[in-house]
Amino acid sequence: MVTWTNYFIHFWITDPQITFDLCRNERLVLGLLIPEQIRGKRSREIMIQKGRGDLSSEIEGKVVLITGVSPGSLGAFFVSTVAKHSPKLIILASRDFSKLQAVVAAITADPASPQVATRLLKLDLASQAQIRQAAKEVLAYAENIDVLVNSAGVMATPYGTTADGLEMQFGANHIGHFLFTNLIMPKLLTSPAPRVVSVTSDGHRLSPIRWDDYGFQGGKTYEKWRAYGQSKTANMLFAVSLAEKLGEKRLRAYSVHPGVIFTNLGQLLAEEDFKNLRDLDKELGNKEGEREGLVIKQIDEGTATHVVGAFDPRIADYNGAYLLDGHLAPDDEIKPYAVDPKEAEGLWKLSESLLEEDLAY
């Protein structure tokens, strides 16, 4: 289903200038529900001041590092969009160099972005040793990092563990990004206006952090959708913590839900998995349990929210927020546990203890 909001974002993101005027589209303005205070308070509508936003100039000259950039992924589409707007450098991070090379070849073959500077970084988020190696490489770069987009992820995979023995979805989606981001933080904090975007999901509705059983008892209690939900809640809480701890050092952090888009993410899922997802939503009392089918977005619509999180100056006052459909999420789309500062601090401490690292700021 293409909603008006989606249609408008589609129109906007495919505009080569990435310019837009929110106030021209009444329906989109009505869709702009911005939490009065980010953490769990009532929402209200706001009118963004009339005038043109120009995200192209926000991209120009920036160094952008992104994880999860295989062909067909959200990360790859985001990169191909950003490449058209004269960034200084795009660093593409993934565990498979040949996939990165294919993405770079597509960008440089595009007449809109032939000259873009790119650099490849090997990063396996399921191995702490490899993450440390990758971070060392980043710290040796001459450039600052202006924007980090943590887009890599796995979804509802069969039970598995990372090289360090953590349940895979929590370990790669959260702990991997948590470690990498914190290790390269000195490179972000030397940028004049650094941003970190955590790509999460409305699937955060499927589970809070399972404080007593985040590892699913070595697989005995494993349920793949709850595990995905926990990892996506963790992505949101990470943005809350980064905003809390580093907002005073100019860092802006957001989590974004792109919408449901056909990528490689669900390629191993069977029909039964979708039935199980529906059953879990029903059990949890989520509205998604009553909905027939999925609302599918196009990839450009979905990555529009990445672009807003990474570059839109108008969200600067909403540090730590969760975004969807290209704007701040209304409260009824947010599970309070996923934006609760106490949960965020608890997750930070748990992550530090699992990594045996003191990452205090």
Ligand X SMILES: NC(=O)c1ccc[n+]([C@@H]2O[C@H](COP(=O)([O-])OP(=O)(O)OC[C@H]3O[C@@H](n4cnc5c(N)ncnc54)[C@H](OP(=O)(O)O)[C@@H]3O)[C@@H](O)[C@H]2O)c1
Decide if 318 is catalytic: no
Which DSSP string do the residues of 312-341 spell out, in sequence order?
A: -GGGTTSTT-EEETTEEPPGGGS-GGGS-H
Site for ligand X contains 303 (CB under 6 A) = no
Question: Which is nearer to ligand X, 56 or 266 (by Cβ)?
Answer: 266
User: Contact between 73 and ligand X (CB under 6 A)?
Assistant: yes
Q: Does 38 bind ligand X (CB under 6 A)?
A: no
**In this complex, which beta carbon is closest to ligand X, that of residue 265 or of residue 344?**
265
Q: Candidates 229, 258, 309, 330: give the one binding ligand X (CB under 6 A).
A: 258
Amino acid in position 208:
P
b/e code 60-86 from CB counts within 10 Å (16+ = b): eebbbbbbbbbbbbbbbbbbbbbbbbb
Number of residues that make up the chain = 361
Rounded to a whole number of angstroms, the minimum distance from the CB of residue 70 to ligand X is 3
Interface segment toward ligand X; rule CB under 6 A; list 26-34, 35-43, 66-74, 186-194: 66-74
∠ at Cα 176 (270, 140), nearest 5°? 135
What CA–CA distance (Å, rounded) separates 298 from 161? 32
179 binds ligand X (CB under 6 A): no
Stretch that binds ligand X, among 88-96, 134-142, 242-250, 323-331 (CB under 6 A): 88-96
| The one segment of 1-9, 123-131, 219-227, 280-288 that binds ligand X by CB under 6 A | 123-131
**Near ligand X by CB under 6 A, which window of 8-16, 25-33, 209-217, 261-269?**
261-269
Q: Alpha-carbon distance 223 to 284, whole Å?
A: 14
Of the residues 199, 253, 310, 329, which one makes contact with ligand X according to CB under 6 A = 199
Closest approach of ligand X to the CB of residue 25, in Å: 24
DSSP state of 116: -
The answer to the question of residue 205 lying near ligand X (CB under 6 A) is no
Active-site residue among 214, 228, 254, 322? 228
Q: Is 329 exposed, middle or buried (0-12, 13-18, 19+ CB in 10 A)?
A: buried
Count Cβ atoms below 10 Å from residue 361 Cβ, excluding itself: 13
DSSP code for 296: B
Residues lying near ligand X in the complex (CB under 6 A) are found at 67-70, 72-75, 94-96, 99, 123-126, 151-155, 172, 199, 201, 257-258, 260-261, 263-265
> Which residues are marked as active site?
228
